[in-house]
Amino acid sequence: MIELQGIKKTYFTEGKATPVLFGIDFKIEEGEYSAIMAPSGTGKSTLLNILGTLDKPTEGKYIFRNKDLTELNDDELSKLRNKSFGFVFQLFNLLNRISVLDNVLLPLLYTDNYPKDAKEKALKLLSMVGLSERVHFKPNALSGGQQQRVAIARALINDPDLLLADEPTGNLDSKSSSEILEIFDEIHKRGRTIIVVTHEREVAERAQRIITLKDGKVFKEEKLR
């Protein structure tokens, strides 16, 4: 499904070059649950942004479903991103002025054809994450764990090929973290491809495989199951 070939990333600020990734190579198979693990500040979020086409590599190839995404323009990437990728972030990124239900529906506003069954689909997703009784609440009336559940439902509303999660338990207590990881387990059982970025070993071990980064490179890969 995914193949990264020699992915490098350098940021340029006021003429100063700051290299972050130094040649990343790995593959992700269809339906796989993978974790990318590294300490904070070592490029794992940058790599996730590249995987989700939120950022572009400085060098290398990103092959997704046999297509080199580094050859696509911004409009083509935007369409692909909205159709194929779902995102879950550490800070939830919900809009507090609208309801939980409307937050989940929000990505559909950017699709070419708004589905007739959008509300029904959103309600089913909110039921899956255990929030059937909170659909009309505003996000700021929810706990952190509940807000992350909303974010997961929102990430799935477009039925993406790939779910990308950046430190999804980073702002949660241990109980809420466990509940969120159980939801990821259930999503994977239903056939979704998942990549989670984390600095926590116990979070990474929920995946089938751990890709560990060190100094902007793949340090090792571990197959857990």
Q: Which residue is it, tokens 């340029």? A: 12
For residue 54, which of 71, 73, 78, 34 has the smallest C-alpha distance? 78
Mean pLDDT, rounded, for 205-217: 95
Q: Other CB atoms closer than 10 Å to residue 86's CB: what's the count?
A: 26
Confidence of residue 111 (pLDDT cuts 50, 70, 90): confident
In the structure encoding, which two tokens stand for residue 29, read together?
Answer: 């198979």
- Rounded to an integer, what distance in angstroms lies between the CA atom of residue 90 and that of residue 144? 10
Q: Above pLDDT 90, what percent of the chain?
A: 90
- Computed over every residue of the chain, the mean pLDDT equals 94
pLDDT grade, residue 42 (50/70/90)? confident
Residue 204 has pLDDT above 90, yes or no: yes
Residue 124 predicted with pLDDT over 90: yes
Task: Report whether pLDDT(69) > 90.
Answer: yes
Section 219-223 average pLDDT:
95
Q: Which CATH superfamily is domain 2-223 in?
A: P-loop containing nucleotide triphosphate hydrolases (3.40.50.300)
Over range 190-206, report the average pLDDT. Answer: 96
* pLDDT tens digits for range 131-147: 999 999 999 999 999 99
Residue indicated by tokens 């479903």: 65
Predicted local confidence at residue 39, as pLDDT: 86
Asked if residue 15 has pLDDT above 90, the reply is no
pLDDT at 112: 79
* Residue 89 pLDDT > 90: yes
Cα-Cα-Cα-Cα dihedral sign, residues 152, 80, 223, 21: negative
Instruction: Identify the band that residue 102 occupies on the pLDDT scale cut at 50, 70 and 90.
Output: very high
Neighbours of 49 (CB within 10 A): 17
Residue 57's pLDDT is 96
Q: HSE (CB half, 13 Å, CA atoms) of 65?
A: 7
User: Distance of CA 113 to CAs 109, 117, 190, Å?
Assistant: 9, 11, 25
